[in-house]
Amino acid sequence: MSNNLIQNLSNLINEYFILIQQSSGNVEYLYHGTSFFYIDYFIKNGLQGKYPDELFNKINKFWPYISAETNNRKALAYVPGFIERNATNNYQISFTPKLEIAKEYAGGARKIGEGPTYFTYALREYLVNIKESNKLLDDMRNFYNILNDALRYPPLILAIKVKEFKQLEDITIKEDMWETTIDFPISTDKLYIMSENGPIKLLSPEGNEYIQNTKIQFEESEKERKKEQERKKEQEQEKLKDWTEEKSLSLESNYKYFIMVKNTYTIKVVYDTFNNEYMHILVDNPEILIDITISVELIKRKTEMVTNIKKNLEINDELKEKLNYIINVMLEYTGKKKDNYKTEIKNIIDWIKF
């Protein structure tokens, strides 16, 4: 065997052992991706793998109502496990030795946790189809607003230093591991925050400064977001100042219509008695906001009407006023069926006034 071949083999063996050492036991920090929404809870309680009682108790209280109605597969898959884990005294905290993995969890769609995130989506779907109001439903709506706000909080990456924990001495943690689970709580004094410049102690002047600066930045961004929302609302109101009308309401005609247009907004109500009698209500901008067809035959059979309405999309007050006006005009041509149409319209557009 030549000297060069022996040297090459020796180099390969050395590189192999270096890689082994790098991937088994040389991990300095473990990372946990989460949301800044929980920062005050972490300062008070450390990292326990649990969620704040006020959040868990609400989810636990509302889930039986929502689970009976929802078809959200992810919520049905994740929320029961979330409730079960948080109801026990067992600790299960997920960490990763890869900072980029923690960043994915902290910055992704599930940053307030899989259970709370998918619960939020299911709660939204549940509430959008309910018009009535009572204490339970009002509590649900208030809680949804809290969770929806939580989804906008900036990402937070917590870290622990492996050498500070005797419980980790006999555990092999490799750099190429995706995830490792720890079964003991982490006290606040052992937690670090990953800043742009590296890890800093959570309970330190630098940590406090980082937390306060992040809170201020988030509050300022929220103020700007709300200002932008108000600006857009004002622009929408400005668009609705002047309307043009087109209508055909002849008593002799089987096809009556009333249309109002302003810039990109169109409101149209049609009443057709030629064959299968129906009323069609349309609002678009140009995206369809309301698209409803109410058929007399469907009313008689008490079956579901053809309906498409974006209930989460805010409809301007002036739009409501104009639509209310046109519908009431058209109802005057429906004769004895007027009350039937009023009932069916009110069932869908609950803010309509007759």
pLDDT tens-digit series, residues 300-319: 554 444 556 555 455 788 88
Please report the pLDDT score of residue 185 as a whole number. 92
CB atoms within 10 A of CB 290: 20
**Bridge partners for 309 per DSSP:** 290
Quote the distance between the C-alpha of residue 242 and its chain's center: 36
Q: What is the pLDDT of residues 207-238, one digit of tens each?
A: 999 999 999 999 999 999 999 989 987 887 77
Q: Is residue 147 within 8 Å of 112, Cβ to Cβ?
A: yes
Surface-to-core class of residue 337, CB atoms within 10 Å of its CB (0-12 exposed, 13-18 middle, 19+ buried): middle
Beta-strand (E) ranges in 198-297? Answer: 198-201, 244-248, 255-262, 265-272, 278-284, 288-295
Please report the pLDDT score of residue 181 as a whole number. 87
Please report the pLDDT score of residue 14 as a whole number. 46
Per DSSP, the three-state class of 341 is helix
Half-sphere exposure of 106 (CA within 13 A, CB side): 25
Please identify which residue in the block is written with the tokens 């149209």: 268
Residue closest to 271 by CA, chosen among 251, 257, 292: 257
Q: What is the pLDDT of residues 43-73, one digit of tens each?
A: 999 999 899 999 999 999 999 999 998 888 9
Question: Cα-Cα-Cα-Cα dihedral of 174, 179, 182, 183, to 10°?
Answer: -130
Residues of the chain with pLDDT under 50: 13-24, 302-305, 312
How does the average pLDDT of the chain come out, rounded? Answer: 85
